[in-house]
Amino acid sequence: METVNRPDEWKIEQGLAGAKLPFLDQTGNEIIAIPPHQWEGATKDEAAIKAVGDPNKLFRRELEGWKGYVEWEKYPEKKAKAHKILKSQTFPPNAEFQMGPIPNTNPVLPGTHWKMWHHAIGGELTDVPEDSWKTVLREKHPEMLHLLQFPYNGEPPKRLVTSKAITPNPLHFVRNHGGIPLIEKDKWSLTLDGLVANPKSYTLDDLMDESKFPRMEKLVTIQCSGTRRIEQISLYPGQGDEVPQAPWAEGAIGTAKYVGISLKKVIKDCGGLIKGGKHLELYGAETYFKSDEVMNYLVSVPWSKVKANEVILAWEMNGEPLPKIHGYPLRVVVLGYIGARSVKWLYRIKAIKNPTIAPVQSKEYLYFNQQVGKHNQRPTDGIQIQEMPVSSAIMSPWTKQVVIHNGKIRCKGWAYSGGGRWPERVELSADGGFSWYAVPNENLSAKHKWTWRTWEFDLPCDVEGWVEIVCRCWDNSLNTQPLNIRAAWNWGLHVTSSAHRISVYSVNESRALTKQRLAKFEETGSPLAPLTWPEEFPTQSLEDYKKYWRENEPRDVDD
C-alpha cells in the first residue's frame, strides 16, 4: 500500500522508539527540529597510530604471572600513548538499550565497544575479551543471565537469586569494568604506599600470617548500586553508557562468607598514616576505559571506615579460594558500602589526602537530583554513593504473571540495608501499597549486621484480575523505601530503592465461579494460558443467559 509516512511513524509518535525522535528547539521564533545524530562510519588515522609504536612492546604484561595486567597509573607517558591511539580513530556508537526494545539474546549486550577498545590498544589487552568470557563459562552457573558479555556483567535468574540465604559462588552476580586478570597466587603481591610511615609489600603468605594479622570471617551482602536499574530505565531513560549503566534487574546482589584480614591492621603494620592521610586509594589490576583514556580500576574509601575494621582484604569466599571472576587472589570487601568500593584483583593501596579523583569515584556512582542530566550535569552536583539505603525486591511471582491461588499469593524475595543496618521488618501489599501485611519473623532468614534477609510470605489476596503487589522493608533505624520510582529517579539510574511493585493477574480459586470456570477449561482441554487468548467455549449457556433476563430487570428502564 502507498503511504507517505515512514513505517515506524506510529511507534515513534507513541514513544516506543524515543531514540529516533528529533529534539524540538523552541527558543527562537520558529520551532526547529534537531534530528538525532547519524553515525557516519569509522575513521582511522593509520599513520598516527603506527607512529605511536609497537603495542606488543608498549603495552606489555607488567609482571610475570599476571595475565591481562597492564600497569597504567605508574606510567603517564604510556597512558598518553594509549590515548593517542584511541583519539586517532572513531568507534561505533554505544548500543541503545534504553529507548528501544532490549534484544532477545543472552548475553543481552555484546559489549562491542569495549572489545574494540581492547583490540585497538592491542599488546597484552588483545586476548582479554576472549579470556574473560572463557572464565565466565568456567566459573559461573550455566543459568546466569549475561547482561553484558564484555566487560562481563551477569546476574542469576530470579528463581535462583534467593533460593539460598547464602549465595553459592557460581550464582553470585558479577560486575566488571574490564577484563578478568588471571593472576598466579605465588607471583602476586600487594604494595602499600603513599602517606604511610613505612611503605611495604606483602605476599599472600605474609597477609595470611596469623601471628601478625588476626583472621576475620564475615557474612556479607554485596550490592551494586545499579541493582533494579531496569525499573528506572523503563520509567524514564537516563545516562546510557553500557558499563556504568548496565541494565540490572533484582539480581545484582549476593551474600557470601568472606575470610581475610582487616585493612586497618595492615596500615598499622606500615606504621600508620602520616601527613594528613585520610583516604585509601584501592587499585584493581584490569584496564578501564573512560573518554578515550585508559587506567586501572581505582576507587577510594575513607580512613574512618577502615579504622572501624569495616574494610576487609579477603582471599576466601564461601570456603573456597576467591574465584578468578571475583578477584583472585585478593579483593577488598567494604562492609555496607556499594559494591564498587570492594575492589577485585587488588594490587596496590595508596594512602592519600582526599577521595581519589579517578573517574569511577569522581564521575560515576554519583547520585544526582532529578533535574540534573546530559544538558547540565557536573560531577560535583552528584553525591558520591557509599552506604546503600534500605531496599527490597520480590523474586516470585514475576510482573505480568498469572497466579492461580486459594486466596493467598505465595511471594518470595530479599530485603537489605547498607551501612550496618539490617532489615527489621518486611511488608507486602496486594492493593498497590494501601494496606500492608508484615512478613512474620519466622519467614525471614537470620538477622546479621552486614547481610540481606531472604523471605517468603503467603500474601492474602481476595481480589481477582490485575493487582499490584508491593514490597517494602523497614530497617533497624526505621528507615523505609520511597513508594514510587519517580521519587528517587536519577540521571545515573543508581540506587533504585523504591518499594518494589509488580503487576500480577490474580485468579482466586476459593471463589465458586472461578473454581467452576477452571474446571471447565480442564474439562474441555482448552488452554488457560496465555491470558489474552479468547476462551474457546461459551462462558454461559444460552438458557442461562435467557433465564437471567427473565428474572432480572431489563437493561433499559421506562421513565
Ligand X SMILES: Nc1nc2c(c(=O)[nH]1)N[C@H]1C(S)=C(S)[C@@H](COP(=O)(O)O)O[C@H]1N2
Q: Which chain residues interact with ligand X by CB under 6 A?
A: 172-177, 222, 224, 254, 284, 286, 297, 326, 339-340, 342-345
Least CB distance to Mo ion at residue 339 (A)? 4
Query: Counting contacts by CB under 5 A, is residue 340 touching Mo ion?
Result: yes
Decide which of ligand X, Mo ion, none touches 502; Cβ closer than 5 to 8 Å per partner kind. Answer: none
Report the amino acid identity of residue 276: G
Least CB distance to ligand X at residue 230 (A)? 16
Max Cα distance, the chain (Å): 99
Report residue 92 as a C-alpha cell.
561505533
Closest CA to 477 of 422, 426, 396, 440: 422
Query: Counting contacts by CB under 5 A, is residue 251 touching Mo ion?
Result: no
Decide which of Mo ion, ligand X, none touches 294; Cβ closer than 5 to 8 Å per partner kind. Answer: none
Which residues in 198-227 contact Mo ion (CB under 5 A)? 224
Closest CA to 251 of 345, 129, 183, 160: 160
- Give the integer Cα–Cα distance in Å for 250 and 247: 10
Taking the least distance from each CB to ligand X, the nearer of 67 and 515 is 67
Count of positions on this chain that bind Mo ion (CB under 5 A): 4
Taking the least distance from each CB to Mo ion, the nearer of 68 and 151 is 151
Decide which of Mo ion, ligand X, none touches 59; Cβ closer than 5 to 8 Å per partner kind. Answer: none
Contact between 18 and 237 (Cβ < 8 Å): yes
Least CB distance to ligand X at residue 339 (A)? 2
Taking the least distance from each CB to Mo ion, the nearer of 88 and 300 is 300
Strand pairing report for 500-508 and 401-405: parallel
Decide which of Mo ion, ligand X, none touches 229; Cβ closer than 5 to 8 Å per partner kind. Answer: none
SS (H, E, C) 202-246: ECHHHHCCCCCCCEEEEEEEEECCCCCHHHHHHHCCCCCCCCCCC
DSSP-derived secondary structure for 123-153: GGGTTHHHHHHHHHHHHS-TT-EEEETTTTE
Least CB distance to Mo ion at residue 52 (A)? 33
Report residue 26 as a C-alpha cell.
523552541
Taking the least distance from each CB to ligand X, the nearer of 281 and 424 is 281
Least CB distance to ligand X at residue 245 (A)? 12
**Listed ranges 283-291, 339-347, 371-379, 480-488: which one lies at the site for Mo ion (CB under 5 A):** 339-347
Taking the least distance from each CB to ligand X, the nearer of 240 and 339 is 339
Taking the least distance from each CB to ligand X, the nearer of 340 and 507 is 340
**Listed ranges 34-42, 172-180, 182-190, 198-206: which one lies at the site for Mo ion (CB under 5 A):** 172-180
- Give the integer Cα–Cα distance in Å for 452 and 219: 10
- Give the integer Cα–Cα distance in Å for 389 and 398: 24
Closest CA to 190 of 124, 294, 269, 123: 269
Closest CA to 230 of 111, 394, 418, 98: 98
The only residue of 154, 194, 336, 339 in contact with Mo ion, by rule CB under 5 A: 339
Taking the least distance from each CB to ligand X, the nearer of 327 and 433 is 327
Report residue 152 as a C-alpha cell.
562481563
Decide which of ligand X, Mo ion, none touches 297; Cβ closer than 5 to 8 Å per partner kind. Answer: ligand X
Which residues in 382-441 contact Mo ion (CB under 5 A)? none
Contact between 395 and 158 (Cβ < 8 Å): yes
DSSP-derived secondary structure for 524-542: HT----STTSPPSS-SS-H
**Residues engaged in binding Mo ion (CB under 5 A):** 175, 224, 339-340
